[in-house]
Amino acid sequence: MPEQSLWAERAWIDGRWQSSVLFEIDAQGCWSAITPDVVTPPQHARRLAGPVLPALVDAHSHAFQRAFAGMSERRTTESDDFWSWRERMYQVALRISPEQMRAVAAQLYVELLRGGYTQVCEFHYLHHDSAGQAYPDPATMCWAVADAAQDAGIGMTLLPVLYQRAGFAQPALRADQRRFASTPDLVSALARAADTGGRARLNAGVAIHSLRAADPQSIRDLQRQVGDREMPIHIHISEQTGEVDDCFATHGSRPIAYLCQDFAPDARWQLVHATHASEREIDAVARCGAGIVICPATEANLGDGLSDLSAWLRADVPMAIGSDSHVVRNWPEELRWLEYGQRLALRKRNVAAAPGRQNATAARLFDAALLAGGQAAGHTRWGLVVGARADALVLDVQAPGQRGVPHEYQLDALVFAAGEPALKEVLVAGQVAMRDGRHANEQAIASRFEAAMADLWRVNH
């Protein structure tokens, strides 16, 4: 008999709703069997209270920015853009302590669970203390976010970041970037520490902040240290037109073209944002097998611009989603933003749908994010498939936007007709992490978060 058995009237498997599904979970918290059309479940199986969806990966997170969400929405100068937002964000980055980081991140991760994510890729570049000095344990800030993930019960892919300079033509970091300083050796050491630290549901990859923030030789050094290990490699790229112009001025190529030409990315690579990409660059990414991570709500909040969604989908480039600066912390709204941005720009509807292949917009975006998210997190199996970690979402069919909706439209309604996802349960490794929107440690985590926020913003005011 399996360690645990669950039964659902419906579950989203292989891109469609399937009926009467029996799930079996092994002692390691992974799916050992998934069997549709089991009309009469065995007596030992627990009946789930609604239809089941696979959970998604939040493929791009800066946890400390949760302390800043909603606090940059005022303009006091003639213009405001990504670069001015960044100046204000640095003020938080320079102050936050390891204890405050853990408190802020734990609150964030509870919110991500409520939003339907069960794994987060933490793009982590706050390495040093506020003076820019190394902690006695260089992984101190890594442990802060990793322990926060343990507090919340979410899985984490920790991505320590290579960050060396302020720009293509600036060989050093600015003073307000001093906490970010790193080398290929430090990044590799932090990834090894995470992989061997003994924390449940924690794995590691590496990241390069951006082409502007790391010199070419250091990127190659990090590639050499990674070697042929199957671990994710993430990089911010082509988020801003200024970055594209500076890269072209320095290297004679646009950022994605330069990356593909000089660093030979492969399927382990995740190009975060990739907002400003030419058709030739999209083709180059498709040929090398890399994926992209789009963060629609953050890209809208920062005024980055719109990705060419149709071109990326036509090229079959893996496309995950991320919450990035955490102004939005649930995946249905991210997918809605992803589609609605295209509708506004193109004055068309159902841009992501592909009649004859997948005519449902929500399903096409969801399945793309599901498949690519597992890859971005370094999981060879992800979702409602045998061998994957037993993570799942149980929908509340009585929630606003779901009540009365025919079952074949429930995913559509979740993305396009609801607010935050109303979930009866969120399962991580077969265990209930969230029930009826409540987390077992929610009150204690919220109290620590409120105390950390009071301290952080008292300093500012």
pLDDT band at 1 (very low <50, low <70, confident <90, very high): low
**Lowest-pLDDT choice from 75-84, 100-109, 403-412:** 75-84
Q: What is the pLDDT of residues 252-269, one digit of tens each?
A: 999 999 999 999 999 999
Give yes or no for residue 460 having a pLDDT over 60: no
Give yes or no for residue 89 having a pLDDT over 90: no
pLDDT band at 391 (very low <50, low <70, confident <90, very high): very high
* Catalytic positions, written as ranges: 273, 324
Q: Are strands 392-395 and 423-428 parallel, antiparallel or unpaired?
A: antiparallel
The predicted pLDDT at position 336 comes to 97
Find where tokens 């646009």 sit. 254
The predicted pLDDT at position 5 comes to 97
Higher pLDDT, 88 or 384: 384
Higher pLDDT, 418 or 244: 244
Give yes or no for residue 15 having a pLDDT over 60: yes
| Residue type at position 88 | R
Token couple for 340: 């609605």
Give yes or no for residue 102 having a pLDDT over 80: yes
Q: What is the pLDDT of residues 167-180, one digit of tens each?
A: 999 999 999 999 99
pLDDT band at 49 (very low <50, low <70, confident <90, very high): very high
| Full set of structural domains in the chain with CATH | 4-53+384-442 (2.30.40.10), 56-335+366-376 (3.20.20.140)
Q: What is the pLDDT of residues 274-314, one digit of tens each?
A: 999 999 999 999 999 999 999 999 999 999 999 999 999 99
The predicted pLDDT at position 82 comes to 80
Q: What is the pLDDT of residues 142-191, one digit of tens each?
A: 999 999 999 999 999 999 999 999 999 999 999 999 999 999 999 999 99
Q: What is the pLDDT of residues 200-209, one digit of tens each?
A: 999 999 999 9
Give yes or no for residue 461 having a pLDDT over 80: no
Q: Are strands 4-13 and 16-25 parallel, antiparallel or unpaired?
A: antiparallel
Token couple for 319: 């496309």
pLDDT band at 459 (very low <50, low <70, confident <90, very high): low
Find where tokens 């092994």 sit. 26
The 3-state secondary structure of the chain, one letter per residue: CCCEEEEEEEEEECCEEEEEEEEEECCCCEEEEEECCCCCCCCCCEECCCCEECCEEEEEECHHHHHCCCCCCCCCCCCCCHHHHHHHHHHHHHHCCHHHHHHHHHHHHHHHHHCCEEEEEEEECCCCCCCCCCCCCCCHHHHHHHHHHHHHCCEEEEEEEECCCCECCECCCCHHHHHHCCCHHHHHHHHHHHHHCCCCCEEECEEECCCCCCCHHHHHHHHHHHCCCCCCEEEEECCCHHHHHHHHHHHCCCHHHHHHHHHCCCCCEEEEECCCCCHHHHHHHHHHCCEEEECHHHHHHCCCCCCCHHHHHHCCCCEEECCECCCCCCHHHHHHHHHHHHHHHHCCCCCCCECCCECCHHHHHHHHHHHHHHHHCCCCCCCCCCCCECCEEEECCCCCCCCCCCHHHHHHHHHHCCCCCCEEEEEECCEEEEECCECCCHHHHHHHHHHHHHHHHHHHC
Comparing CA positions, the residue from 122, 132, 176, 184 lying closest to residue 154 is 122
Find where tokens 């989908």 sit. 313
Token couple for 228: 């042929």
Q: What is the mean pLDDT of residues 337-349?
A: 97
Q: Rg for the chain (alpha carbons), in Å?
A: 21
